[in-house]
């Protein structure tokens, strides 16, 4: 039986920084709450996300979809800077929005940030001890100093 090269684990020569991201691999249900922009702040929106290796482990991809909502479908590619032990995340969504985020992942804490005049963003996600739940929040800032909640998201691994 042929194996999908995109689903394979990183090769031995792959960067160890990327190997740390193995805990993301799989399918996840998402639950989005506490949306600052939603007319009903108590609303809950459901979707799904998958994480897979790209090019046999050279990069990690994320595909997210939240059907029947104002949330865009998104595709992300993550890759390491092996010398800095950090990551870069390239983001693109169904609205045509394209962004570059800095990323770190250490001790179960997943952090993303983007400093841009007029619209900065940051994300903090924490893995549960069994690595099956990520509890996270997005924040935004118009001036890079005063931050406000954008929304909260919980990822629950399903496969």
- We report the CATH number of the domain holding residue 89 as 2.40.128.20
Give me the residue label for tokens 């940030």: 113
Q: Is residue 8, in this structure, part of any structural domain at all?
A: no
Domain range for 52 is: 16-157
| The model's pTM | 0.88
Q: Is residue 110, in this structure, part of any structural domain at all?
A: yes
Looking at residue 125, what is its pLDDT?
98
Over range 44-50, report the average pLDDT: 96
Looking at residue 15, what is its pLDDT?
67
Q: Dihedral sign for Cα 17, 18, 19, 22, please.
A: positive
CB atoms within 10 A of CB 24: 23
Tell me how many domains the chain contains: 1
Among residues 13, 24, 6, the alpha carbon closest in space to that of 105 is found at: 24
Q: Is residue 24, in this structure, part of any structural domain at all?
A: yes
Among residues 129, 78, 130, the alpha carbon closest in space to that of 104 is found at: 78
CB 58 within 8 A of CB 8: no
Give me the residue label for tokens 């960067």: 15
Over range 5-32, report the average pLDDT: 76
Looking at residue 35, what is its pLDDT?
87
Q: What is the pLDDT of residues 65-86, one digit of tens each?
A: 999 788 899 999 999 887 767 8
CB 80 within 8 A of CB 94: no
Q: Is residue 72, in this structure, part of any structural domain at all?
A: yes
| More confident site: 43 or 124 | 124
> What is the band of 58 on the pLDDT scale with cuts at 50, 70, 90?
confident
């Amino acid at each position: 039986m042929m194996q999908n090269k995109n689903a394979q684990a990183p090769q031995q020569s792959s960067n160890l920084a990327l190997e740390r991201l193995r805990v993301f691999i799989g399918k996840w249900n998402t639950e989005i709450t506490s949306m600052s922009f939603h007319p009903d702040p108590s609303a809950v929106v459901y979707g799904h996300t998958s994480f897979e290796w790209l090019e046999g482990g050279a990069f990690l991809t994320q595909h997210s979809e939240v059907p029947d909502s104002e949330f865009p479908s998104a595709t992300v590619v993550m890759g390491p800077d092996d010398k800095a032990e950090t990551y870069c995340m390239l983001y693109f969504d169904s609205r045509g929005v394209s962004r570059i985020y800095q990323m770190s992942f250490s001790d179960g804490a997943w952090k993303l940030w983007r400093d841009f005049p007029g619209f900065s963003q940051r994300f903090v996600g924490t893995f549960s001890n069994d690595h099956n739940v990520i509890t996270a929040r997005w924040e935004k800032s118009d001036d890079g100093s005063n931050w406000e909640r954008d929304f909260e998201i919980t990822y629950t691994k399903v496969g």
